[in-house]
């Protein structure tokens, strides 16, 4: 028994290998933090490249008409090609919302509606003022598509891609990142700009 106590006393006072254990604990936290910053930096870089690609393609592709579907496809293809050099496995989606002038596009004001149930949403058959006469309530006051001559178009590109490093799965985060960029395209003034006519009344679904 006396020998056992002597051995335990020596074991408690022995600090050999403590540095290795401490380094192992700290290294896990350090490496995890480093990988996290690398992943964040990559996502921010992709966001920056996407925004630059959208703006450059918008400058390069001035559309003469909202019906110039071929030119719209060329614009989309140019953006897709640029971003997929960085994120080859990305999913790229495009959307266009047009407005009659730049101010309306910048303000993105919802069409007026009567919030009968006071839930902050236009739903449950509540009446709304259909300013663009497309029979649906528009949160931004715009309409889907490229529009026509002289219209301003909010062009939005969204990409979803796998994270650079697999660390996200270890801490319960999503394995993919989604970033978005947008710009305003101004259609060429070739032809007369369309007009909606007087607003009508619709009902929210």
pLDDT for residue 112 is more than 90: yes
Domain boundaries, the chain: 16-203
What are the pLDDT digits (tens) for 154-182?
999 999 988 877 766 766 778 888 999 98
Angle at the Cα of 165 from the Cα atoms of 163 and 171, rounded to 5 degrees: 90
pLDDT for residue 137 is more than 90: yes
What are the pLDDT digits (tens) for 25-64?
787 777 777 877 888 888 888 888 888 888 887 776 554 4
What are the pLDDT digits (tens) for 97-106?
999 888 888 8
Higher model confidence: residue 88 or residue 53?
Answer: 53
This prediction's pTM: 0.72
H/E segment holding residue 178: strand 176-186
Higher model confidence: residue 112 or residue 30?
Answer: 112
CA distances from 66 to 47, 101, 190, 195, 201 (A): 27, 15, 11, 14, 26
What is the rounded CA–CA span in Å between residue 118 and residue 58?
Answer: 40
83 three-class SS: helix
Q: Which residues contact 84 (CB under 8 A, 6 or more apart)?
A: 90, 92
- Residue 140 contacts residue 110 (beta carbons within 8 Å): yes
* Residue (of 156, 162, 163, 185) closest to 58 by Cα position: 185
What is the rounded CA–CA span in Å between residue 43 and residue 52?
Answer: 14
Higher model confidence: residue 162 or residue 70?
Answer: 162
């Amino acid at each position: 028994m006396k020998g056992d106590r002597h051995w335990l006393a020596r074991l408690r006072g022995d600090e050999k290998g403590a540095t290795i254990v401490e380094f192992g604990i700290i290294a896990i936290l350090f490496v995890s933090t480093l990988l996290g910053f690398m992943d964040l930096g990559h996502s921010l870089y992709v966001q920056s490249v996407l925004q630059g690609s959208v703006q450059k393609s918008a400058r390069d592709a001035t559309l003469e008409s909202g019906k110039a579907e071929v030119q719209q496809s060329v614009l989309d293809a140019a953006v897709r090609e640029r971003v997929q050099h960085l994120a080859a496995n990305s999913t790229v989606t495009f959307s266009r919302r047009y407005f009659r002038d730049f101010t309306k596009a910048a303000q993105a004001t919802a069409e007026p509606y009567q919030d009968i149930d006071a839930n902050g949403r236009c739903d449950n058959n509540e009446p709304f003022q259909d300013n663009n006469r497309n029979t649906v309530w528009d949160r931004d006051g715009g309409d889907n598509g490229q529009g026509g001559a002289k219209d301003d178009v909010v062009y939005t590109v969204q990409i979803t891609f796998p994270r650079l490093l697999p660390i996200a799965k270890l801490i319960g985060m999503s394995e993919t990142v989604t970033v978005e960029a947008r710009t305003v395209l101004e259609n060429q003034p070739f032809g007369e700009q369309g007009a909606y006519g007087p607003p009508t009344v619709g009902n929210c679904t």
